[in-house]
Every structure is written in C-alpha cells, then in structure tokens.
Amino acid sequence: MKSFSIVFSRLLIVVFVSFLGCKNDTSKDITTNEAVEVLKDFTQYVNPFIGTSNFGTTNPGPIAVRGMANVSPFNVAGPQNLPLEKDSRWLSTPYVHENTFLTGFSHVNLSGVGCPELGVILAMPTTGDVETNHLNYGSTYSKEKATVSYYSNHIDKYNVKVEATATTRVGVSKYHFPAGKSNILLNLGLGLTNEEGAMVKVVSPTEIEGMRSVGSFCYYKPEEAYPVYFVARFSKPADTFGVWKTPRTYDGVEGKWMGYNGKNRLKENYTKEVVGDSIGAYMRYNFDKPSTVEMKIGVSYISIENARENLEKETANKTFDAVLADTKNDWNQHLSRIEVEGGTADDKTIFYTALYHTLIHPNTLNDFNGEYPKMKTRETLKTDGTRYTTFSFWDTYRNLHQLMSLVYPEQQSNMVKSMLQIYDESGWLPKWELNATETTTMVGDPAGIIIADTYLKGIRDFDIEKAYQAMKKSATQLENNPLRPGLKDYIEKGYLTTSTIHSGSVSTTQEYNISDFAIAQLAKALDKKDDYNTFSKRSISYRNLFDKEFNLLRPKNEDGSWLTPYNPEYGANFVENVGFIEGNAWQYTFMVSHDTKGLIDLMGGDDALANQLENVFSKKQFDMANEPDIGYPFLFKYIKGKEHKTDALVQQLLSTYFKNTPDGLPGNDDTGTMSAWAVFSMMGIYPVSPAEPSYAIFPSKFDKVIIHLNNTYYKNNRLILSKESTPEGNKVKVNKEIYKNHFITHNAITSSK
C-alpha cells in the first residue's frame, strides 16, 4: 500500500463527513479515488444480536471497526445464569442472549472465539449503598437495544438506563441515574478470562486508572499472561470515591485473629494503588435530581499512560453522541464497500451483520501513538501502520483473509505486515496470535497460506522475501519448530503417523500439504523453480493416507500399516480422535481443494467423488460450524456435470444456519470465519482453494452486488455481480458480461469489463 492516502469525501444524506475527521486508525487504510455517493445507511442492516446464542459467542456491545475496546454487557456470572454460567462450564463469551442476570459491562472482549478470554474491566452503575459483590449488585435488565456501535438497556434493580458506544480504543458509556445515591463500580475481579490479578488507583474524583492481568487463552501458556491497562474518566466529579479488595481467606492461626478474614474491604477516598485478585474502584454520587454521567474507558496493552493518551486523542471533548456518530459513520463507510440490491430485509441484515463480524477481528493492538507490545517479552515497539492481532489463522486462512484481500486490501496488507512483525519479534510466523502472545492453539502452519494468497492476488506492498523465508523456515526446520510438530515424519514418510503426535495425524498432514501448496504457488510466482517442485510434491503427500477400502483418508501407524479397527465416523462433535482434529474422516477427506483433481483420481473418477461428497451431506456428516468442511459445498464445481449442485446447496445451508436471530450463526463465529462464509456465499463467489487466486462462482442471494474496489490495488473501481434471467435460468453476470465458467480468477474479477 502506498504510504499516502488519497482521501475522498463521502456524501451522506445530509452531512458532509471527511475521513480526516475520524480517529479510528483503520480509516487511514481506506484508499480509493472513486467518489461514491453513499446515500444509504448500511448500518441499519446490522443486528449485533446475531451470534449471541447457539454458542456464536459474538456480543451485542458497541465496537469500532477492528476496535481494541468493546463495551459488552456481561451476563455469564452467577447461578442466575445457569446453565450458561461461566464457572460451571467452558464458556467463551461475556454475553449470552438467553441469560438474564447482568453484572456489568466488560471493556475488552473477544468475538466469536471458542476459549474464554478477556471479558474484563467491568463497569456497573448501581444506586443506594456501595455493594461490590457481583452476586449481590447484579440485576436483571430490560429494554435491550443494539445497533452498530450502540447498545442500551435498562437495569431493573436500579432503574438506570445504560447507553454505550466506543471508539477504537475507548469504551464510552452514558448512565441515566434517578435522583439519590448512585454509584459506578469498576470491578476488576470478575472476568471471563481464567487469569486473575489487577491494580487500581483513583487518580481524582473524575479519573481511575489501573491494569488487569489476562491470558492463558484456552488454558494454555499461563506463563504468558499479560496486562491490559486502562484509564476511566467521568464527566462529573464523584462526591466520594473509593476502592475495594476482597482478600483470600486465611487458614491457620492467623485467620482466627482476623475478624476481617476473607471479608471485603472498602477504602473510602483512598488514592493509592490497590492490588489483588478481587478488587475494584467506585465513583459515588448523590444526585438531587435525575442525572446522567458519561464514562470513557481508554485501554492499552502498553501502559496506563498510553491508555490515557488513547482516551484523550480519541474522545477528548467529545460527547457520547459525538463519539457514537463518528463511530457509526466509520462503520457505514466500511460496510458501504459492498452494496446489495434485492433480497429480503432479513437477507440484507444477515449479510451486513456477517460483514460487520468480519470487521471485528483481526483487531487493533497498537495504541494511538503506534506503540504495541513485542511478542512474549512485551517490550514496547512502534508501528507505522496498524498492528493487528487476534489471528485465528486455522479458521481465517480459509476465507476471511480472501474477503479482506478483495474488499479491504489495504487492511489485508497491514495484516500481512503485522504477521511479519511477529516473525521479526519471535522468529516465527503466527498461528493463533492474541495480543502479542502466540497461544499455539489448533494445528497446522496457516500463516504462509494467507501470505501467498495475498501476494498472488496482487497485494504486494510488503517484504515478500522475508515472508518467503519465514514460510520456508517453518516448512523445513526439523527441531524446535513450534508451528510444524512432526515435520520429520511428514517429510520422510509424507505423513504424520499415529505415533508422531498425540492426535490429528491425518488432518495435520493435510494442513501441512495446503501450506506447502501455498509455498509452491508463491515459489512459482517468485521464480524459485526448485522450491516450486519440492513443495508441489510435498503438497500432495496426503495421498499416502487415502484408503481405497473406505474411499476416505485413514490414519497410518508408525510402521506404515493402517490404523485398525477404523470407523471413519468417529470423531464428529469434537470427540478426540487419533487421526483428526475437531472432526472425522468425512469432515477432512475433501479438505484438499488444491488437489481435487488428484482426489478424483484417487476415488475413481468424478462420479465416485460426487457420490462420496454427497454422502457427507446425506449421512449428516457435514458440520457447518467447523472449518475443515466448510469448503465442501463448493467442491461440486470441480466435478463435471455436478457443478450446479453447489448453487442449491449453498442456498440451503444459508437458510438453515444463517438467520436474523440470536442463534443465527451455526456455532462459534471463529473470529469472523463463519460470517465470511456467509458474505461470500450470499454474494455468489467463494475462494475454494486457499493460495489459489480464484473463486467458485454461483448465483448470489441478491439481485445485484456491488463491491467498491480499492484501485490502489485493483484496476477496476467496482465489481458488480448480478443475476441475469435467461431462458436457461438465472445466469451470473460479472460486471457487464454473463460469466460462463464455474471459477473466476481474482484478476478477472477485479479487472474484467
């Protein structure tokens, strides 16, 4: 991406808004020279409640585009919320739509993930005396409303209306208190993360600062737990303030001398740091009439000073309403990159909410001043562009980055640059990076797939030689390789055996194959012929694991024999399985889209593959909620004569799993991967084979889809996909021409007339 931006103005219905006026960093990336009249409010089609049930693990709280801060209602603590209560089960979201007991609003959260993390810095307005135990101060709520960058509810117990919005790094809340004694609690004990420990200090009657320890995502790597810092500012000075701490309960003789053993302590008007696992601070008001207080909480992963600067630079002197208007406007700018015509209102809502979900993660890690923490040691580094984080690559390499490359290439470029920063800092590309920790969650070596895919699509403003070197490192370093355990067996035998790793020998082999395919494709583009040959060969080694007996993949033992006995259906529904991670042979066998032709040969021809693929669906082995098989519906496009099976199947899956309701996602959104699937599927194109710059193409859900292209990267200013009714049925039109093939290259789609 060029270092300067040709910023254009967009005309809203009544107001003229310049990008320059918007402080959300991501807007810096938006570059186009096409003047577009944005006459619509696309944000009206976002329903933030979609995905807040059925384990979608999204939350309805306000967030800016790729924001660091997010003000989520927190309703997963306390027995009132059973069975979806955070301490009684593995629960990875601060908010569940069917729960009723609210204990605050958390200010850093993850969206659509499968492990509990963050969900900390909880604010809660209450009235009456200061009560700091969430089980006591919690309340039911009503009149819940959520739109883009806005959430509101009414806390029943206190008759307090809450409104919330956010900028990139600041959560902004507005509390409408009745007359009388009112409190704003900042609870640093409660959280979704399984880490503990915090510090808090009241700086003045209008400011509180502190930090909270988080980490151990998926109960891994506790030694990499890290702090998130915050500064909270209040629009009205508190009449009194204080901090609290509930210490542990002592055993032994000392406990007998402590009348206060384990009891909560309030420290009124105390102005020093308090540290502990269960601590908090409060601001207290005595209103003679109903009054509002606005609270801004700036966050940072670097320091309290940076949290304060983030708060000041993004929200100083801005009212709640002004912040809301700016953030909503920025969302509209982003959502308007794709315009759709036709479809029902629900279709539009499902579509734009999905697009919204793809613009949450990866999110911003760096502070306003560019500072961000170095991997693991967390020394302070500085970035020019945005340093993105929350890279759930095992999920997102399949479609989310392809969506970014097409619609937001300036963001995708920055994501690749962030990946290279991580490589510089840690010596390895990321796999599941979160806030400068490598969580090492899931398997495979997906970063290189994303890099190759990005580069091959013409987004090349990053150091490709470094990237290539990084990709080759994880593909070739046999010892102490965190990304590719079992690499020696993989290279020597062509596959991991049931003895190589604890579980997932087949699926890991497949993941390495796809990564090697990506290296080969990139090697070809970079004219590295030997590597192209080597990695091309490596990329199809899964064939060694194809068992004609089942016409499916099957694990092999160390001696080369098949794992026996063998039931290919075993392993569905996340049952641990020696051959496959989060799946079974049905859900993995076809995950070789880069070699579908090879698979056809292995299976015995087009019909054999078609039959077996149809079996996946008829045997109910297809899992819409898990990544390995989400490309399956598009594989029919590879099978001569079966190509149109995709079209109906996609529409059927869309209508079954994607709805304008809280349970309107098939399961975990997986940091936007499910949503990216919906966006592509509804538009009528899908990037079936990662690191191949092409899309399967099929009829859209809508009559017309207009993608405004960034022609810093692409020749055309826009891509129009539309339906053309013909005597032979609906055809897909790409821009002005009816498109006849079943795949279309990235180059064609971004440059054809």
Interface contacts to a copy of itself, rule CB under 8 A: 87-90, 194-199, 211, 213, 216, 219, 222-227, 245, 247-248, 250, 252-254, 257-260, 263, 265-267, 269-277, 373, 376-379
Asked, as a colleague might, if the bond just before 565 is cis with ω within 30 of 0, I would say yes
Q: 231 φ, ψ to 5°?
A: -135, 130
Can you say whether the dihedral through the CA atoms of 691, 697, 701, 707 is positive or negative? positive
3-state SS class at 295: strand
CB of residue 86 to a copy of itself, shortest distance in Å: 9
| CB nearer to a copy of itself: pick between 90 and 574 | 90
CB of residue 269 to a copy of itself, shortest distance in Å: 5
| CB nearer to a copy of itself: pick between 34 and 239 | 239
CB of residue 46 to a copy of itself, shortest distance in Å: 34
- The one-letter code for the residue type at 698 is F
CB of residue 743 to a copy of itself, shortest distance in Å: 43
CB of residue 639 to a copy of itself, shortest distance in Å: 43
Sheet holding 338-341, edge to edge: 338-341, 704-708, 718-726, 729-734, 737-738
Instruction: Give the Å distances, CA to CA, from 258 to 244, 249, 250, 263, 278.
Output: 17, 10, 9, 10, 18
Q: CA-to-CA distance for 5 and 54, rounded, in angstroms? A: 41
| CB nearer to a copy of itself: pick between 165 and 278 | 278
| CB nearer to a copy of itself: pick between 156 and 277 | 277
CB count, 10 Å around CB of 384? 10
Q: CA-to-CA distance for 460 and 448, rounded, in angstroms? A: 14
| CB nearer to a copy of itself: pick between 196 and 461 | 196
Q: Which residues have a Cβ under 8 Å from the Cβ of 550 and sit 6 or more positions away?
A: 566, 568, 585
CB of residue 205 to a copy of itself, shortest distance in Å: 12
| CB nearer to a copy of itself: pick between 201 and 233 | 201
Q: Which residues have a Cβ under 8 Å from the Cβ of 578 and sit 6 or more positions away?
A: 498, 503, 504, 505, 555, 563
| CB nearer to a copy of itself: pick between 300 and 621 | 300
- The one-letter code for the residue type at 210 is G
CB count, 10 Å around CB of 550? 16
Distance of CA 383 to the CA centre of its chain: 21
| CB nearer to a copy of itself: pick between 268 and 558 | 268
CB of residue 377 to a copy of itself, shortest distance in Å: 5
- Strand 16-17 and strand 10-11: the pairing is antiparallel
Q: Tokens standing for 31?
A: 């570059």
| CB nearer to a copy of itself: pick between 249 and 561 | 249
| CB nearer to a copy of itself: pick between 373 and 633 | 373
Q: Which helix (H) or strand (E) covers residue 722, if one does?
A: strand 718-726
Integer-rounded Cα radius of gyration of the chain: 26
CB of residue 628 to a copy of itself, shortest distance in Å: 24
DSSP 151-211: EEEEETTTTEEEEEEE-SSEEEEEEEE-SEEEEEEEESS--SSS---EEEEEEETTEEEEE
| CB nearer to a copy of itself: pick between 271 and 344 | 271
Q: 430 φ, ψ to 5°?
A: -75, 160
| CB nearer to a copy of itself: pick between 261 and 476 | 261
Q: CA-to-CA distance for 63 and 170, rounded, in angstroms? A: 9
CB of residue 268 to a copy of itself, shortest distance in Å: 8
Give residue for tokens 């995502």: 217
